[in-house]
C-alpha cells in the first residue's frame, strides 16, 4: 500500500476498537465477524460497504434518481463529490463513478445519485431500467476535489450539460441549506426542455431564490457546430453572464464542452478559476483489426511496443521483467492481473477485453492497441 | 500420422479434432456465463456462512441443556441432540467451504464476475494451508502435470505408492497405515505437502529459503487453531463463568471440552470427506499415469486426452455433487478447471458422449467402486510389483 500522508497516531478509542475487532475476528477467521453480520443486515457490515436502494424516481425519459441508504462505514461528503458504485450486470461486476446529487445536509442519512442511460451503455441502462427498491449495491467512499470552498465566499458560475447538472444540484441545495446562497449564475445545456435532468427543480429554485440565475440553453446536440445559438461561445457567455471574469467557474459535462471552456478561460488568463469534473472513460475503443500497441506495466514503470500475437507475459519477460506465472496455457491463473486501461485480445478466443479494472490472463492475451497492466 | 505416445487408438489428427470439440464446448460455456451462475455462487456462500453460524450457535446452546443446570429442559439427551445438530451443521459448512466454494474460487472459476469479494487472488479459505501456497502446487503443478510421474505432486502425495510405475521401497510396506493417518489428518497433510519439506530434509534447499513460507503457514495454522480449538471453547467457558462462580451449572471443564470436541469432530469429518472424494479423483482402477517422455511436446488437445485418461468421476445425486465440490465430475474439472463448477453436471453428459464417439475411456463409477478399488490399490502396491493391478 502506498501511503502519501503520514497517518496520525491512533487515539485510545481507535486502539480499543481495533483490539475488540481483532478479538471478535479470531472467532470467524479467515473471514471477519462482519461477514456474518452481513447475513443479518448488509448495511451493518464493515468489511465492505454497500447501500440499499430506498427509492427510484424517473427524472426524464432516460434518467433516474436512486435514493441510497449507505452502510455503517459511510462518511460525510462535500457537495460536488462522487462515489464509485458496483453494479452486477449479467453476473459481471462493473464499477462506475456517479456524482452525488443530494446535499450533504440531508437529514435522513441518505443520498441520491442521478443516472442517465447513455446510448449503448449497458451499465447505465441497467441502473436506469433494472435496479429495484431493496437491491443492495456495493459503494465506495466519496471522493473528488470538485466542490465549493468550505468557508471562503465565492460567486459561482455553473456551466453544465446533460447529467453534468448533478454536482450543481448538490452544491446549490447545500448552499441553500447552509443559508449562504450567494449570487450564482447557472448555464445549462440540454437537447430539449424535456431532457433536462432537474429541469423543473432548477426553475423552481430560480423562482424562490432571486440570487440564483438559471439560464437553460436548448440545443439538438452539444459539440456539433452547426446548431445556431447552441453550444458554448464567448458571445453567449458575455450575454448570459457578463461578469464571468470575476466568478469561480464550476463546469461539468461532455469532453467537447470542457475543451471549449478550457480554451476560452485559458485565453482569458482565468484557467485557475475554472474547475472541471470529468470522468475517465471506463472502457477503451476496440481497434478495428488485430493490431499491436504500446504496453505499459504500471508497477514496473516499463513501456514497450508489442505486436498482436505475442502474449503479454512474453512481452513482460522480454522487457526484463519476471511477473508471477505458471502453466503458460491459461489454466492455472497464476499470472492473472488487472487491466488498468486499454485493450487486450484473448489469443484463444479472439475476444477483446476493454473494461478498465477487469482481470486478464497475460499468458494468453496480446495487446490490441495500447494497454496498461497492473504489473 | 501418429506421433503421440498416449494409450489411445487415435491418429494425431483425430486427437486434434477431439481437442477442437472440447474447445468449442468451453467457448459455449464461457459465452453463456451470466446472472444465474452468479446467483448460484452468491447464494451458496450465503447458505454456507449461515450454516457455520447456526452450527456454532447450536453448539453453544447445547451447553444450556446440560443436566447440571437442573432446570426443566435440562437433559442429557437434549444436550447431545443439540450438540450433534450443531456439529453436523458446522461440519457441512466446513465441507462446502473447502470444496464447492474454496477449491473452485481458488481455481479462478468465478473471477470472470470481477466481483472484488469473490476473487482467486484475494480469497482465503478455512484451511490450515494458506490459499496462495495451495494454488501454486494445485493449480499449477497438479493441473498442468496431472498424473505425470515425477511431476505431479498429488500422485500419492510423496507418501504413498499409487502406481506400479513408482519404484517400491520397504517404506511402502506401511502405506495402509499412512493412508489411514492421512485420511484423519488430511487438512494437515495438504499443508505439509505444500511446504515440500522433503527438499529441505534432503538438503536440496536451505532453511533460509523455506523459512518465509514456513512462517506464513505457521501464522495461518495459529489463526485456524485459535478459532476452532481455543476461541469458541473459551467463549462457552466465558458464558458459563458467572454461573459457575455463583455455584450453579456445569463445570467449566465440561463446557470447554464439549465445545472443543464439537469443533474437532467437525474438522475431522471434513478431513475424512475431502480425503474420500479426492482419493477417488485419480487413483481408482483403470486410471492412467504417464511418463515424462509421453508428455514431451504435448499439444493442447493431447493435454485434454491426458486429463481424461487420468481422472475419474463418481456417480451421485445433486447434493452429493455439491458436497464434493463437483469433484465428483473430476474429468470435467480437469478438462476445464476454470469453468464454474455448477456447469460440470451439464458438461459431463456431453463430454461422456464425446469420449464414446472417439473411443476414449471415461472412468466413472459409484463411490463404492471408485473408493474400493483405490483402497485395494493402496494395499496391493504396499508390496513390490503390482504391474497387473495398475495395468495402465
- CATH code (residue A65): 2.40.30.10
pLDDT over 70 percentage in chain B: 95
User: Does any domain span residue A284?
Assistant: no
- pLDDT tens track for B17-38: 999 999 999 999 999 999 999 9
Minimum-distance CB partner of B114 among A329, A349, A358 = A358
Taking contacts as CB-CB distances below 8 angstroms, the residues of chain B near A90 are 34-35
In this prediction, residue A1 carries a pLDDT of 37
What confidence category does residue A5 fall into, taking pLDDT thresholds of 50, 70 and 90? low
Residue A295 to residue A300: CA distance in whole angstroms: 12
Q: How many helices (H) and strands (E) does chain A have?
A: 8, 17
Residue A48 lies in a domain: yes
B334-364 pLDDT, tens digit each: 999 999 999 999 999 999 999 999 999 999 9
Question: Do A48 and A98 share a structural domain?
Answer: yes
Indicate whether A264 and A299 sit together in one domain: no
Min Cα–Cα distance to chain A from B27, Å: 8
Q: Average per-residue pLDDT in chain B?
A: 92
Helix (H) or strand (E) holding B38: helix B35-63
Which residue do the cell numbers 491418429 mark? B11
Q: Does B232 touch chain A (CB under 8 A)?
A: yes
CATH number, residue A197? 3.40.50.80
Statement to judge: residues A167 and A263 lie in one domain: yes
- At residue A292, the pLDDT reads 85
CA atoms of A346 and A349, how far apart (whole Å): 6
Q: Chain A residues with CB inside 8 Å of B50's CB?
A: 39
B124: nearest CB among A30, A88, A349 = A30
Of A17 and B284, more confident: B284
pLDDT score recorded for residue A113:
95
Of A218, A243, A277, which one is at a domain's C-terminal end? A277
Q: Which residues contact A40 (CB under 8 A, 6 or more apart)?
A: none
Max CA-CA distance within chain B? Answer: 86
- Mutation target among A28, A30, A357, A363 for the B interface, most CBs of B within 10 A: A30
Contact A331 B144 (CB under 8 A): yes
Whole-number Cα distances in Å, B203 to A113, B210, B217 = 62, 11, 20
The CATH number covering residue A319 comes to 3.10.20.30
Answer for the pair A119, A63: CB distance below 8 angstroms, yes or no.
no
pLDDT tens sequence across A226-280: 455 668 899 999 999 999 999 999 999 888 899 999 999 999 999 999 999 876 5
Q: Given this model, what pLDDT does residue A352 score?
A: 87
Q: Worst-scoring range by mean pLDDT, A2-6, B70-74, B316-320?
A: A2-6
What angle do helix axes B186-195 and B207-225 make, rounded to 10 degrees?
160
- Structural domain boundaries enclosing A365: 293-373
Q: Is residue A225 part of a domain?
A: yes
**Cα A283 → chain centroid:** 13
Q: CA B144 → CA A132, A271, B134, B298, distances in Å?
A: 44, 58, 14, 11
Q: State the CB neighbour count (10 A cutoff) for residue A174.
A: 22
The helix/strand/coil state of A204 is helix
The answer on A71 and A109 residing in a single domain is yes
| Inter-chain touch B46–A359, beta carbons under 8 Å | no
**In sequence order, which residues have a C-beta less than 8 Å from that of residue B351 and are 6 or more positions away?**
B22, B25, B308, B331, B332, B335, B362
Residue A236 lies in a domain: yes
**Residue A371, φ and ψ in degrees, nearest 5:** -155, 160
Give the ipTM of the model, two decimals please: 0.90
Same domain, A257 and A166: yes
> Is residue A66 pLDDT above 90, yes or no?
yes
The three-class DSSP label of residue A209 is: coil
Mean pLDDT on A293-320: 92
Compute CA B114 distance to the chain's CA centroid, rounded to the nearest angstrom.
25
Are residue A133 and residue A169 in the same domain, yes or no? Answer: no
Q: Which of B49, B114, B116 sits opposite A35 (nearest CB)?
A: B49
- Torsions phi, psi of A137, nearest 5? -125, 135
- The pLDDT tens digits for A339-370 are 999 999 988 888 888 888 888 999 999 998 89
Cβ atoms of B329 and B313 closer than 8 Å? yes
DSSP string, A83-117: EEEEEEETTEEEEEEEEB-S-TT-TTS-EEEEEE-
Distance CA B63, CA B262 (A): 12
pLDDT at residue number A60: 87
A349 interaction partners in chain B (CB closer than 8 Å)? 27, 30
Q: Can you tell me the distance from the alpha carbon of B20 to that of A117, in angstroms, rounded to the nearest whole number?
A: 41
pLDDT digits (tens, 9 = 90+) for B192-229: 877 766 665 666 666 666 778 888 889 999 999 999 99
Q: Is the pLDDT of residue A2 over 50?
A: no
Please check whether residues A194 and A113 belong to one and the same domain.
Answer: no
**pLDDT at position B194:** 74
Q: Higher-confidence residue: B198 or A23? A: A23
Residue A353 backbone phi and psi in degrees, to 5:
-105, 125
Decide if A279 contacts A97 (C-beta within 8 A).
Answer: yes
Residues A110 and A34 in one domain: yes
The whole-number pLDDT of residue A204 equals 96
Determine the pLDDT at residue A362.
Answer: 93
Is B68 in contact with B293 (CB distance < 8 Å)?
no
Q: What percent of chain B clears pLDDT 90, i.e. is strictly above it?
A: 81
A169 and A126: one domain?
Answer: no
Is residue A5 included in any domain, yes or no? no
Is residue B133 less than 8 Å (CB to CB) from chain A?
Answer: no
pLDDT score of B51: 98
Q: Of the candidates B53, B300, B337, which has its C-beta nearest A36's C-beta?
A: B53
| pTM to 2 decimal places | 0.88
Quickly state the pLDDT bin for A6 (edges 50, 70, 90).
low
Q: Largest Cα–Cα distance in chain A?
A: 69
* Per-residue pLDDT tens over the stretch B234-289: 999 999 999 999 999 899 999 999 999 999 999 999 999 999 999 999 999 999 99
Helix-then-strand count for chain B, H and E: 17, 2
Q: Are A264 and A332 within one domain?
A: no
- Domain final position from A250, A277, A304: A277
Residues A123, A206, single domain; the answer is no
Kindly determine whether residue B125 and residue A30, on different chains, have CB atoms separated by under 8 Å.
yes
pLDDT digits (tens, 9 = 90+) for B169-191: 999 999 999 999 999 999 998 88
* Nearest residue in A to B28, CA atom: A349
Which has more confidence, A106 or A289? A106
Distance from CA of B366 to the nearest CA of A (A): 29
**Whether residues A201 and A270 fall in one domain:** yes
Domain contains A6:
no
Contacts with B221 (C-beta within 8 Å, 6 or more apart), sequence order: B128, B191
Tell me the residue ranges of DSSP E strands in chain B: 313-314, 364-365
For A332, B277, B281, B287, the CA distances from B370, given in Å and listed in that order, are 27, 9, 9, 10
Residue A227 confidence (pLDDT)? 54
Is A13 within a domain?
Answer: no
User: Which residues of chain A have a CB within 8 Å of the CB of B124?
Assistant: 30
The angle, 0 to 180 degrees and rounded to 10, between the axes of the packed helices B252-282 and B175-184 is: 120
What are the contacts of B172-179 at 24+ separation with CB within 8 A? B172/B381, B172/B382, B172/B383, B173/B382, B173/B383, B174/B382, B175/B378, B175/B381, B175/B382, B176/B378, B176/B379, B176/B382, B179/B375, B179/B378
Structural domains of chain A, count? 3
- Selecting from B35, B140, B231 the residue whose C-beta is nearest the C-beta of A327 gives B140
Residue A289 has pLDDT above 80, yes or no: no
**Per-residue DSSP letter, A247:** S
pLDDT in the model for residue B255: 96
DSSP A42: G
Interface of B with A in 200-229 (CB under 8 A): 223-224, 226-227
Residues B104-113: tens digit of each pLDDT: 999 999 999 9
Strand segments, DSSP code E, in A168-286 are 184-190, 212-218, 248-252, 274-277
Residue A14 lies in a domain: no
C-alpha cell recorded at residue B146: 496431472
Residues A152-198 have pLDDT tens digits of: 778 999 999 988 999 999 999 999 999 889 899 999 998 888 888 89
Q: Taking CB atoms and an 8 Å limit, are B144 and A39 in contact across chains?
A: no
Looking at the predicted structure, is the pLDDT value of residue B389 above 60? no
Distance from A318 to chain B by nearest Cα, in Å?
22
- Per-chain mean pLDDT for chain A: 88
Domain boundary among A277, A305, A334: A277
Amino acid at each position: 500500500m502506498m501511503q502519501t500522508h503520514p497517518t496520525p497516531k491512533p487515539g485510545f478509542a481507535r486502539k480499543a476498537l481495533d483490539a475488540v475487532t481483532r478479538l471478535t475476528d479470531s472467532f470467524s477467521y479467515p473471514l471477519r465477524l462482519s461477514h456474518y453480520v452481513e447475513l443479518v443486515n448488509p448495511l451493518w457490515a464493515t468489511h465492505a460497504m454497500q447501500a440499499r436502494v430506498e427509492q427510484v424516481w424517473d427524472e426524464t425519459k432516460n434518467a433516474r434518481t436512486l435514493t441510497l441508504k449507505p452502510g455503517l462505514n459511510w462518511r460525510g461528503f462535500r457537495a460536488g463529490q462522487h462515489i464509485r458504485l458496483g453494479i452486477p450486470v449479467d453476473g459481471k461486476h462493473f464499477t462506475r463513478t456517479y456524482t452525488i446529487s443530494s446535499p450533504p445536509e440531508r437529514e435522513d442519512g441518505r443520498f441520491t445519485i442521478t443516472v442517465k442511460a447513455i446510448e449503448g451503455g449497458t451499465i447505465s441502462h441497467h441502473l436506469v431500467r433494472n435496479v429495484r427498491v431493496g437491491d443492495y449495491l456495493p459503494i465506495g467512499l466519496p471522493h473528488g476535489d470538485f466542490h465549493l470552498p468550505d468557508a471562503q465566499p465565492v460567486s459561482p458560475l455553473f456551466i453544465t450539460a446533460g447529467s453534468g447538472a448533478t454536482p450543481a444540484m448538490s452544491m446549490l441545495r447545500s448552499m441553500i441549506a447552509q443559508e449562504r446562497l450567494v449570487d450564482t449564475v447557472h448555464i445549462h445545456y440540454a437537447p430539449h426542455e424535456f431532457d433536462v435532468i432537474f429541469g423543473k427543480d432548477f426553475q423552481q429554485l430560480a423562482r424562490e431564490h432571486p440570487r440564483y440565475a438559471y439560464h437553460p440553453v436548448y440545443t439538438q446536440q452539444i459539440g456539433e457546430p452547426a446548431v445556431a445559438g447552441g453550444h458554448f461561445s464567448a458571445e453567449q457567455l458575455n450575454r448570459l453572464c457578463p461578469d464571468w471574469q470575476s466568478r469561480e467557474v464550476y463546469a461539468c459535462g461532455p469532453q467537447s464542452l470542457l475543451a471549449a471552456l478550457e480554451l476560452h478561460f485559458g485565453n482569458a488568463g482565468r484557467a485557475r478559476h475554472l474547475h472541471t469534473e470529468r470522468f475517465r472513460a471506463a472502457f477503451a475503443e476496440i481497434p478495428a483489426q488485430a493490431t499491436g500497441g504500446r504496453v505499459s506495466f504500471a508497477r514496473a514503470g516499463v513501456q514497450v511496443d508489442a505486436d498482436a500475437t505475442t502474449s503479454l507475459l512474453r512481452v513482460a519477460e522480454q522487457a526484463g521483467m519476471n511477473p508471477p506465472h505458471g502453466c503458460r496455457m491459461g489454466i492455472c491463473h497464476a499470472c492473472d492481473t488487472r487491466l488498468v486501461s486499454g485493450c487486450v485480445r484473448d489469443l484463444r478466443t479472439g475476444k477483446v477485453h476493454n473494461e478498465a479494472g477487469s482481470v486478464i490472463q497475460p499468458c494468453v492475451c496480446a495487446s490490441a492497441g495500447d494497454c496498461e497492466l497492473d504489473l | 500420422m501418429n506421433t503421440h505416445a498416449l494409450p489411445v487408438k487415435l491418429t494425431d489428427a483425430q486427437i486434434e479434432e477431439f481437442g477442437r470439440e472440447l474447445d468449442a464446448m468451453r467457448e459455449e460455456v464461457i459465452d453463456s456465463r451470466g446472472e444465474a451462475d452468479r446467483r448460484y455462487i452468491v447464494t451458496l456462500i450465503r447458505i454456507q456462512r449461515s450454516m457455520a453460524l447456526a452450527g456454532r450457535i447450536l453448539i453453544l446452546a447445547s451447553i444450556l441443556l446440560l443436566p447440571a443446570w437442573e432446570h426443566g429442559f435440562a437433559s442429557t439427551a437434549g444436550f447431545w441432540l443439540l450438540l450433534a445438530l450443531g456439529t453436523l451443521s458446522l461440519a457441512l459448512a466446513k465441507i462446502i467451504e473447502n470444496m464447492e466454494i474454496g477449491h473452485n474460487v481458488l481455481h479462478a472459476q468465478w473471477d470472470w464476475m470481477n466481483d472484488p469479494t469473490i476473487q482467486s487472488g484475494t480469497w482465503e479459505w478455512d484451511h490450515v494451508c494458506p490459499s496462495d501456497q495451495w494454488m501454486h502446487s494445485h493449480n499449477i503443478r497438479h493441473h498442468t502435470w496431472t498424473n505425470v510421474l515425477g511431476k505431479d505432486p498429488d500422485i500419492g502425495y510423496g507418501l504413498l505408492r499409487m502406481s506400479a510405475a513408482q519404484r517400491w521401497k520397504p517404506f511402502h510396506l506401511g502405506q495402509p497405515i499412512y493412508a489411514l493417518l492421512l485420511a484423519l489428518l488430511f487438512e494437515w497433510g495438504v499443508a505439509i505437502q505444500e511446504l515440500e519439506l522433503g527438499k529441505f530434509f534432503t538438503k536440496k534447499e536451505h532453511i533460509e529459503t523455506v523459512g518465509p513460507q514456513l512462517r506464513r503457514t505457521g501464522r495461518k495454522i495459529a489463526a485456524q487453531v485459535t478459532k476452532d480449538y481455543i476461541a469458541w471453547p473459551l467463549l462457552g467457558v466465558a458464558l458459563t463463568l458467572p454461573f459457575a462462580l455463583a455455584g450453579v451449572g456445569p463445570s467449566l471443564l465440561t463446557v470447554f471440552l464439549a465445545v472443543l470436541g464439537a469443533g474437532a469432530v467437525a474438522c475431522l469429518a471434513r478431513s475424512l470427506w475431502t480425503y474420500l472424494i479426492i482419493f477417488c479423483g485419480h487413483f481408482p482402477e483403470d486410471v492412467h499415469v504417464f511418463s515424462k517422455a509421453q508428455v514431451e511436446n504435448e499439444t493442447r488437445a493431447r493435454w485434454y486426452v491426458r486429463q481424461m485418461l487420468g481422472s475419474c468421476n463418481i456417480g451421485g445425486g445433486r447434493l452429493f455433487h455439491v458436497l464434493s465440490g463437483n469433484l465428483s465430475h473430476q474429468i470435467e474439472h480437469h478438462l476445464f478447471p476454470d469453468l464454474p463448477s455448477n456447469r460440470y453436471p451439464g458438461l459431463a453428459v456431453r463430454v461422456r458422449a464425446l469420449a464414446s464417439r472417439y473411443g476414449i475411456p471415461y472412468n466413472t463409477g459409484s463411490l463404492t467402486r471408485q473408493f474400493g478399488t483405490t483402497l485395494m490399490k493402496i494395499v496391493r502396491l504396499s508390496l513390490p510389483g503390482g504391474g497387473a493391478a495398475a495395468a495402465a
